[in-house]
Amino acid sequence: MVFENLQYVSIFIETIVAIICLLIFIKKKKIYGLGLFTTFFIYVFYNLSKLNNYEVSTEGLYFLFFIASLSAFLSTWLIYKENNKKRRL
């Protein structure tokens, strides 16, 4: 029971992070915000689907996790490149 409650708390935190990432994209015009939003949105969907036994194929979940990982990689790469530019100036 305790771990199930932790799962709900985790989903709530992932949702908040996704919203913050979306705000970074909208308000600060940073494309990495959209990438990180995509990653955390997929995490929320994945966790909800597992918790609520949604009928999602295993292959579909693997593909979504691949997209989430790729999105996180590209977003962190953009953050790294942006920070490197600032240091050179």
| Three-class SS state of 56 | coil
Q: Which pTM value belongs to this model?
A: 0.88
**SS percent in the chain: helix, strand, coil, step 5:** 90, 0, 10
**In the predicted model, what is the mean pLDDT of the chain?**
93
Cα–Cα distance between 58 and 42 in angstroms, integer?
Answer: 14
For the chain, what are the domain ranges?
2-88
**pLDDT, tens digit, 9 for 90 and up, residues 50-59:** 889 899 898 9
